[in-house]
Chain A
Amino acid sequence: MNSKPRQRVAVAVVGWVGSLMLFLPIGFMALKSFQTEVVAAAPTPALVFSPTLDNYADAVQAGIGPYIVNSLVVLVASTLVVLVLAVPAAYALSIRPVVKSQDTLFFFISTKMMPIAAGIIPIYVVASNLGLLNTITVLVIMHIGMNLPLAIWMIRSFMQEIPGEVLEAAAIDGASGGRAMRSIILPLVRPGLASTALLCAVFSWNEYFFAVNLTTSTSTLPLFLQKFLSFGELYTAHVAAVATLVSLPVVVAGWMAQKSLVRGLLFGAVK
């Protein structure tokens, strides 16, 4: 955009400094995860220290295992159900649209705008009556509800981009709805499905509100982290270790999918 060398340097500096400032707390966190609590609590940040894996070992000792399993189960189950429900719904909102498809679409997104707190008491009471409190099941159900509207919007925007001629050609060739879905639509939107699934997985993995309100001991990783609050002042290095451990898979997935995620997040609203 600008050819003057001085401007180019300025842009590079802004780009690097800004990016590094955003990344700094994460890098700092990863660094502290290898320090002892005493080193991590020094008023002057230690850059040179003898690294230790004790914090990670302590996390395993403190019983992170079951929480990891629970988080994975909730993530996989809820994301799979979301895809199974969202793909046909997105089809009915784009390729063979129902009457008032636009209103239905806005109904779905409106559910994401409403305060979750306004519904949590009945959800708690009903879950309690059904014996679902402190179970993985209730989290799976809530995560499906949380991610479904988003998934429908994203998948719809990917289906919207399939050229009409392709679908017409399939119809002329006598492909039924189900057939066209299997052999034409699904292959074409597969990258979109992948980025939708990834985003749903990230939100499920990170979800805290339902976990803290509906579960106690049988729960997901965010609740495991809460345990460190009882450690008093000196918990930084332990939190850093667990935080690094649980953030790593999501961060790596996000790094790899950054391009396609953006396209999905635009919801097909803007190109």
Chain B
Amino acid sequence: MAWKRNLPYLALLIAILFPIFVRDPYFLHAAIMILFSAYLASSWNIIGGLAGQHSFGHSAFLGIGAYSSTLLLLYLNIPPFLGMILGGMIASLVSIGIGYPCFKLRGPYFALSTLAFTEIFRIVVTTTETIGGIDLRGAAGILIPLRKGNSFLNFQFADKTFYYYIILAMLFLILFIYKRMEKSRLGIFLSAIRDNEEAARSLGISATRYKMIALIVSGFFGATAGTFYAQFFLYIEPILFSSALSIEILLVAIVGGAGTLTGPLIGALMLTPVSEMTRAYLGGTYAGVQLILYGAILVAVMMFAPQGIVPPLSRRYRSLFERRA
């Protein structure tokens, strides 16, 4: 029992020590991408897992975050760390606008309407060159000017290790918040809504209100991931709003296990190395191989473990421990 309780701390210790022992930039980059997609999928997990509303529009928040902080930086010289918070707030406001119509719908209809929303964003941003004096640059995307050295003020680091620890801290924070939400009154209401919305409503739970809270929180953190993306790659483009990216985000969470704390992390640990490896070994010519594998994994998981990988695993281990005890 003891080592099982300490397993999270051990994992955290390994994660903290990782860049000290692994100096190879390629592996460090891959590790950052794993943590990033775990973070992004965890932010989806609040609306998609905890509240059970499978949103196909999460990339809208990612795009809003990336574009907000970048434009605030370029036009008002607002430091990206502050821009991250502001971008999150903008995304939260937008999420109210998205949630208001979409929460009237259930299941497949909810999925389709959120997908339509993110497509509207993608189309508008792709075709808008300037709006009110602000250059969006349409499909070409925006470059963030490179600064020298390591600076928290500019959120730019020559040493990638900084990015690693930032995204690690962000992931730790969102997992902590998820855990707190899950155990709170709100989390209990949300899981009641997820399991049976009619029953929850009949008990006097205002389903729309709680789903809206989950979407606001989810949108906020999704947008912060967008700022991280923008500052890490120093380049943003309308693809960030694409529905294909939305599907990739929810894929990570669902393969791991939607509605479980560690699901998005496990999903990212499994899927992101696949995409990083195909990119490294096959290069740009076989760009689609990664997505073929993703598609196959998604089909296989839906066929054999529709709850994701985490629930059956944890069940198996729990029974193992109970027998020994």
| B partners with A | no
Taking Cβ atoms with an 8 Å cutoff, the residues of A that contact B are: none
